[in-house]
Protein backbone atom coordinates (compact mmCIF):
# COMPACT_ATOMS: atom_id res chain seq x y z
CA UNK A 1 0.00 0.00 0.00
CA UNK A 2 0.91 3.66 -0.02
CA UNK A 3 3.60 4.84 2.38
CA UNK A 4 4.75 8.24 3.65
CA UNK A 5 8.14 8.61 5.36
CA UNK A 6 9.47 11.43 7.50
CA UNK A 7 12.42 11.97 9.81
CA UNK A 8 11.33 11.69 13.44
CA UNK A 9 13.17 14.73 14.84
CA UNK A 10 14.51 18.08 13.64
CA UNK A 11 16.30 20.55 15.91
CA UNK A 12 16.84 24.18 14.85
CA UNK A 13 17.84 27.44 16.48
CA UNK A 14 15.26 30.14 17.00
CA UNK A 15 15.35 32.54 14.06
CA UNK A 16 16.79 30.00 11.63
CA UNK A 17 14.85 28.28 8.85
CA UNK A 18 13.45 24.79 9.41
CA UNK A 19 13.17 22.34 6.54
CA UNK A 20 11.05 19.23 7.11
CA UNK A 21 11.25 16.55 4.46
CA UNK A 22 8.85 13.83 3.39
CA UNK A 23 8.86 11.08 0.78
CA UNK A 24 5.85 9.16 -0.50
CA UNK A 25 5.33 6.16 -2.73
CA UNK A 26 1.93 6.69 -4.39
CA UNK A 27 2.61 7.97 -7.89
CA UNK A 28 -1.09 8.80 -8.30
CA UNK A 29 -1.14 11.28 -5.40
CA UNK A 30 -3.38 14.22 -6.17
CA UNK A 31 -2.87 16.50 -3.18
CA UNK A 32 -0.15 16.66 -0.53
CA UNK A 33 -0.62 18.29 2.84
CA UNK A 34 1.27 19.55 5.86
CA UNK A 35 -0.44 19.40 9.25
CA UNK A 36 0.77 20.65 12.63
CA UNK A 37 -0.09 18.96 15.95
CA UNK A 38 0.61 20.57 19.30
CA UNK A 39 0.50 18.54 22.54
CA UNK A 40 -3.00 17.43 23.45
CA UNK A 41 -4.51 18.96 20.34
CA UNK A 42 -5.92 17.82 17.02
CA UNK A 43 -4.32 18.46 13.66
CA UNK A 44 -4.11 21.94 12.17
CA UNK A 45 -3.89 22.21 8.38
CA UNK A 46 -0.90 24.42 7.54
CA UNK A 47 -0.85 24.23 3.77
CA UNK A 48 -1.38 21.90 0.85
CA UNK A 49 -0.21 21.60 -2.74
CA UNK A 50 -1.75 20.11 -5.82
CA UNK A 51 0.39 17.48 -7.52
CA UNK A 52 0.81 19.51 -10.73
CA UNK A 53 2.50 22.36 -8.81
CA UNK A 54 6.13 22.40 -7.73
CA UNK A 55 6.07 25.25 -5.22
CA UNK A 56 3.65 27.10 -2.99
CA UNK A 57 4.41 29.97 -0.63
CA UNK A 58 2.22 31.19 2.20
CA UNK A 59 3.77 33.81 4.49
CA UNK A 60 6.59 32.04 6.41
CA UNK A 61 5.80 28.67 4.83
CA UNK A 62 7.21 27.37 1.55
CA UNK A 63 6.26 23.97 0.15
CA UNK A 64 8.41 22.34 -2.52
CA UNK A 65 7.25 19.28 -4.45
CA UNK A 66 9.49 17.09 -6.60
CA UNK A 67 6.99 14.76 -8.19
CA UNK A 68 9.64 12.79 -10.08
CA UNK A 69 11.40 11.86 -6.83
CA UNK A 70 8.14 11.80 -4.81
CA UNK A 71 9.68 14.26 -2.34
CA UNK A 72 7.87 17.00 -0.45
CA UNK A 73 9.39 19.59 1.86
CA UNK A 74 8.12 22.29 4.19
CA UNK A 75 10.32 25.28 4.92
CA UNK A 76 9.47 27.49 7.89
CA UNK A 77 11.30 30.80 7.77
CA UNK A 78 12.37 32.60 10.96
CA UNK A 79 11.42 29.68 13.22
CA UNK A 80 9.88 30.74 16.53
CA UNK A 81 9.29 28.89 19.81
CA UNK A 82 5.59 28.71 18.91
CA UNK A 83 6.51 26.55 15.92
CA UNK A 84 7.52 23.74 18.28
CA UNK A 85 5.15 20.86 17.42
CA UNK A 86 4.85 17.64 15.44
CA UNK A 87 4.53 18.17 11.69
CA UNK A 88 2.76 15.56 9.60
CA UNK A 89 3.06 15.08 5.88
CA UNK A 90 0.00 13.51 4.25
CA UNK A 91 -1.05 12.54 0.76
CA UNK A 92 -4.32 11.84 -0.97
CA UNK A 93 -3.86 9.04 -3.45
CA UNK A 94 -5.68 8.41 -6.66
CA UNK A 95 -7.80 5.80 -4.89
CA UNK A 96 -8.89 8.53 -2.47
CA UNK A 97 -9.13 6.21 0.55
CA UNK A 98 -8.71 9.04 2.98
CA UNK A 99 -5.35 10.65 3.64
CA UNK A 100 -2.17 8.66 4.27
CA UNK A 101 -0.04 10.27 6.97
CA UNK A 102 3.61 9.95 7.87
CA UNK A 103 4.62 9.31 11.48
CA UNK A 104 5.38 12.98 12.02
CA UNK A 105 8.51 15.08 12.57
CA UNK A 106 9.08 16.56 16.03
CA UNK A 107 10.39 20.11 15.51
CA UNK A 108 12.54 21.19 18.47
CA UNK A 109 13.48 24.84 18.82
CA UNK A 110 16.73 25.75 20.57
CA UNK A 111 16.97 29.22 22.12
Partner 1 sequence: DAGVTQSPTHLIKTRGQQVTLRCSPKSGHDTVSWYQQALGQGPQFIFQYYEEEERQRGNFPDRFSGHQFPNYSSELNVNALLLGDSALYLCASSFFLQGSGEKLLFGSGTQLSVL
Report the interface residues with partner 1, using CB under 8 A: 1, 4, 30-31, 33, 35, 40-45, 48, 50, 88, 90, 92, 96-104
Q: Which is nearer to partner 1, 60 or 101 (by Cβ)?
A: 101
CB of 78 to partner 1, least distance (A): 25
Report d(CA 8, CA 12) in Å as an integer. 14
Report d(CA 111, CA 75) in Å as an integer. 19
CB of 46 to partner 1, least distance (A): 11
Q: Which is nearer to partner 1, 3 or 16 (by Cβ)?
A: 3
Report d(CA 36, CA 69) in Å as an integer. 24
CB of 38 to partner 1, least distance (A): 10
Q: Which is nearer to partner 1, 19 or 45 (by Cβ)?
A: 45
CB of 31 to partner 1, least distance (A): 4
3-class SS of residue 68: coil
Residues 6+ apart with CB under 8 A from 14: 79, 80, 81, 109, 110, 111
Amino acid sequence: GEDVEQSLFLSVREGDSSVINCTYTDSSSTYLYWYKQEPGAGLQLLTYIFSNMDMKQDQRLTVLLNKKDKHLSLRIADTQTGDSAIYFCAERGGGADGLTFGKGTHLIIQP
